[in-house]
Structure 1
């Protein structure tokens, strides 16, 4: 089940929305998460950019061997993307103990879980054409892992 939601989103992104090639850069921009005053890298997963689509493993497999980012329960976490045209659609999926949950993003961020544990995330972003709602100018999935202590 955990891979099914991720794969469904990726497939929908690639097959229904398609890709146009008017975005700058060779691949999607980097995304960071900010906790307090610290900024942490995320790992770029699957994406469709400038007519090129890639497919990569889901967040757990993609982050294998990665040291989790420490967080305290209920801590505010924000997303940082230094890119001129911001995506206009966002989704955040949390994976914990083989269960997937969509997490609400408010004001470009979310709160860390209140229970201790290791949590994997897939942050999907889309640049949807404002004139043609079924046309994606690009999309990307970013992965990161938190350890709530």
Structure 2
């Protein structure tokens, strides 16, 4: 009876390990010499669906904001969907190590999305993670450092991008 329980536990362990293996990312490659070799075509990070990149033109300078919270899905060839939801800290914490770009009240700011969203909103945050304002553009009317978040929406999902500016 003892042998049967040991074999049962071993079988359960092997099945559990086999069930936890990630075989979606691995493909078999047959070399010219006939030997089989496993390789990964794409890293797990590259295989995940992600929202489009955002580049921000701030006067003469270009800025790439930090991607924050997002939800994104893509349709596969077989009509199934792959999706991901990523949560992050609030924009003030995201940009805490970023040096703010120096701007003036008349600086032109342009958002250049890799794929244009259906709509977007710009939020201004304080350092205590409170939203101070929300509009369709960056408000440069004050002075000092401001923390900006761009919330963009597409049919595939939505994304949050954060950056900071120092208004002179």
Distance of aligned partners of 1:111 and 1:74 in 2 relative to their CA distance in 1, 3 Å threshold: farther
Deviation at 1:111, TM superposition (A): 4.8
Give runs of aligned pairs for residues 5-84 of structure 1, distance below 5 A.
26-50=49-73, 51-83=83-115
User: Normalization by structure 2: what TM-score?
Assistant: 0.60
Partners of 1:139 and 1:80 lie apart in 2 by 16
Which segment is superposed worse, 36-45 or 88-97?
88-97
User: Normalization by structure 1: what TM-score?
Assistant: 0.67
Structure with bigger RCO (C-alpha 8 Å, 6+ apart): 1
Partners of 2:112 and 2:132 lie apart in 1 by 22
Which 5+ residue runs of structure 1 have no aligned equivalent?
1-24, 129-136
Question: Residue deviations 1:34-90, cap 9 Å, x none?
Answer: 12232111000000112110100010111111101111123221111122xx21121
Residue 114 of structure 1 corresponds to: 141
| Larger-gyration structure (1/2) | 2
Does the 8 Å contact 1:72/1:112 carry over to 2? no
Choose the corresponding residue for 1:126, options 153, 163, 167. 153
Deviation at 1:112, TM superposition (A): 4.4
Does the 8 Å contact 1:45/1:55 carry over to 2? yes
SS at 1:65 equivalent: coil
RMSD after superposition: 1.9
Partners of 2:127 and 2:149 lie apart in 1 by 15
Moved over 4 A (4+): none
